[in-house]
Amino acid sequence: MVQNFWFTGGGGRNNPSFRKMLGKKISRGQFSTNVSVLLAISLCSCIHLTQGKTYRYSMDSCTDLTPREVQNQPANYEASQWSPPSWRSGNGNNVRQKRDPYGSEPQAPVRISVPVHRYKRNSDLKVQIEGRGHYDAMMIQGRSVSANGEFVPGGVGIVGVFQPKYLPNNFTHLQCFRLDYGTVVDSGRSPQLGNVTLMWTSPDSDAGSIRFLAGITRGQHYWIVVSNILHFNPYPVSVVQCGGTEACFRICPLDEDSCYPDQALMMYSYSTEVYGKRDVEFTMGGRINPDNTYLAVVYTEDNDRLNQADVTVCYVEHGRARVEHYRLNEIDSYLLQDSEEIGLDDYDLDGNSLWCRFRRPLSPSSVIFPHKSYYILLYRGELDLHGFPKLRTPARESMYSSDMKLNLTTPTNKRYSGSLQISQFCSSYLVIALASLSILQLRLSFASGLLVDFTCA
């Protein structure tokens, strides 16, 4: 479980620390909607509310997550009679700092727990509000922050949505800043609230680093609770710039001419805007068996025999990705370690999906140079970490090649159908599979001819 932490408040909007924004002191009576004010909340005291009043989160709480007094409260008011917060409450003047007369401040009753450090595009993430104590009211949002965790100036920056389908009882959405599902509050129908699990879906584009913030109210105190930082996970990569400012190659599943990166059997991409740069960043990824598969990209002038080919491979060893650089004298020879080492910048391993990001310097003596053109081939090969050779080169027919030699500055959006070839280390088992179904899983379909779909054991 990821370690989390929380902030406790210190005096609301009239606290001098709370009024600091972008390094400037905000005068009394002036209040900004900028979320950077939340970073200035004191770590050493909580905020006390006026005794005998009822406080809930409303539209007025969308920016600062401060509870407001419920106005026009009937004499026989009960929490179960309170309707979802579509009303607008008081101006918050009853929220004020009051030191605990006994000299001790209560700790926040809950924390925000998330199981990961990074989020992916359009992916679901469980967000848990958990702790040992109960509380009376809650409001939570996901917000953009800088890489070091500071809230981004210039707006609240609510990101992502909390899925209505998985919203627990006693909770509802609040339409802050006209965003239907970006904020969740309690419905006010439960006298005491406990542990809650919400399902949050990330946006379909890079929202930068984010944090979850929750306002928690219990009795005469409220807290601003903050999750750990979640950085953006760029894998699977975006295809928005493919054919524009990037060169992209995708191997799609069986008989599919196009596919999304998360569906692709393999993908390779890089920026074609290389002039004025010292190196180029490449991304290679796809589906693998971490125990026996590696991914490879080949640069060669000989598209048949691959004489003197330049090969970069990515594979998993001891749970971590590795990138290595090789030379191939010709298709039937072993891969030989190249003197130019390639460093791994970043990677993502998620089950049977592996993505590697690496850089190579622009050099006239290498294949990575704007004035040179090569065929680019992709393949998935057999890996044997304890055998020789460690990396086995498949037959040429199992590789996917560009139609022509490509310059490093040529934008491309090439897609291949996975039905064209079968990798050598899988096809070598095909004859055995006909006699032993325990080696391969076969699915036969006679809807439109004979189709054999198999996966390596």
pLDDT at res. 50 = 61
pLDDT at res. 209 = 94
Q: How confident is the model at residue 429 (pLDDT cuts 50, 70, 90)?
A: very low
Q: How confident is the model at residue 106 (pLDDT cuts 50, 70, 90)?
A: low
| Under 8 Å between Cβ of 121 and 145 | no
Mean pLDDT of 129-136: 89
Task: Give the C-alpha distances (Å, rounded to integers) separating 201 from 156, 215, 229.
Answer: 18, 20, 16
Taking the mean position of all CA atoms in its chain, how far away is CA 188? 33
Report residue 373: phi and psi, to 5°: -130, 140
pLDDT at res. 254 = 84
pLDDT at res. 288 = 96
Q: When comparing pLDDT for 314 and 150, which is higher?
A: 314
pLDDT at res. 132 = 81
Predicted confidence (pLDDT) per residue in 293-349, tens digit: 999 999 999 999 999 999 999 999 999 999 999 999 999 999 999 999 999 999 999
Predicted confidence (pLDDT) per residue in 216-261, tens digit: 998 878 899 999 999 999 999 999 999 999 999 999 998 788 899 9
d(CA 104, CA 299): 67
All structural domains of the chain, each given as residue ranges with its CATH number in brackets, are: 7-232 (2.60.40.4060), 246-421 (2.60.40.1210), 426-457 (no CATH)
d(CA 236, CA 267): 9
Question: 435 CB contacts (<8 Å, ≥6 apart)?
Answer: none
Q: How confident is the model at residue 107 (pLDDT cuts 50, 70, 90)?
A: confident
Task: Decide if pLDDT at 86 tops 90.
Answer: no
Which DSSP string do the residues of 1-13 spell out, in sequence order? ------EE--SGG
Task: Decide if pLDDT at 13 tops 80.
Answer: no
d(CA 48, CA 196): 24
How much is the pTM? Answer: 0.71
Amino acid at residue number 135: Y
Task: Decide if pLDDT at 154 tops 90.
Answer: no
| Under 8 Å between Cβ of 177 and 156 | yes
| Under 8 Å between Cβ of 423 and 383 | no
